[in-house]
Amino acid sequence: MQIEFTTPIQQERDEKAARMLEIYANQSFKSLRSAQRMRLRLVTWAIRNKIQANMKRVFDLIVASLALIFTVPLMGLVAAAIKLDSPGPIFFLQERVGKWGEPFYCYKFRSMYIDAEARKVELMAQNEADEIIFKIKDDPRVTRLGRIIRKLSIDELPQLLNVIKGEMSLVAPRPPVPYEVAQYKFEHMRRLDAIPGITGLQQVSGRSNLDFKRWVELDLEYIAEQSLLKDVAILLRTVPAVLLSKGAY
């Protein structure tokens, strides 16, 4: 019979090894539980976002369809007035950049003379907006009727069709034109993380009176906090903003 002797040093090493194995086992168990919790949070987040997006889409379809029905008489009058006011088409289709850079054509009532795009280059030196946006308060390209429908945002009523088609939402950051996106810095690109809208937080917070930096801040704030209740609140704030025409030109 062979008797094995364990020295104090060996015993201490065995105890340390046992403690280390216990620590590793506990850490592995905690890591597994942490991974499971993270996976559950991601699934919950994805489901919540999907439900929220579906609710927003249904809300957009219902409200846009009703608004289109009720504003048909007004749009008919505006269309006739445009034809009488200046030569050119009733509608103006402009390429815009949608969610994640997807291009689409935005519908508007024509509020400018037909040579507006050609004259833009010669007016660049008179730009009153900062950085990327091009705005002139007394833009000579705008028709007489155009000044009225732009102030009251009536020129944007045809965008209800964009909403019904799913290219736009009622509430979200405004869709930029490709020329603007080409000048975006990295932090500006986050504006494209949402389907663009007819009105938004920027439109009810000063519109053209805001500089581009503040414009982006408000858009990113909306994207981070968007909800159906927030959309309703912004739509309600849009009514007085349009009637008062503050910052509209």
pLDDT tens-place string over residues 186-223:
989 999 999 999 999 988 987 777 888 889 999 999 99
Most confident segment among 4-13, 45-54, 129-138, 214-223: 214-223
Q: Is 21 a domain residue?
A: no
Q: Is 19 a domain residue?
A: no
Beta carbons of 161 and 91 less than 8 angstroms apart: no
Boundaries of domain holding 53: 46-244
Q: Is 23 a domain residue?
A: no
Encode pLDDT of 152-180 as tens digits.
999 999 999 999 999 999 999 999 999 89
Q: Is the dihedral of CA 182, 187, 188, 194 positive or negative?
A: positive
pLDDT recorded at residue 166:
96
pLDDT band at 91 (very low <50, low <70, confident <90, very high): very high
Q: Is 29 exposed, middle or buried (0-12, 13-18, 19+ CB in 10 A)?
A: exposed
pTM of structure: 0.81
Please state the domain count of the chain.
1
Write down how long the chain is.
249
> Structure tokens of 123?
């007016």
Distances (CA, A) of 140 to 108, 128, 244, 249: 19, 13, 23, 12
Q: Is 185 a domain residue?
A: yes
pLDDT recorded at residue 134:
79
pLDDT recorded at residue 27:
67
Q: Is 125 a domain residue?
A: yes
Least confident of 55-69, 123-137, 190-204: 123-137
pLDDT band at 105 (very low <50, low <70, confident <90, very high): very high
What gap in Å lies between CA 132 and CA 176, rounded to an integer?
Answer: 10
Q: Is 81 exposed, middle or buried (0-12, 13-18, 19+ CB in 10 A)?
A: middle
Tell whether the model's pLDDT for residue 107 goes beyond 90: yes
Could you identify the residue written with the tokens 């939402």?
A: 169
Q: Is 36 a domain residue?
A: no
Q: Is 132 a domain residue?
A: yes
Q: Is 33 a domain residue?
A: no
Tell whether the model's pLDDT for residue 111 goes beyond 90: yes
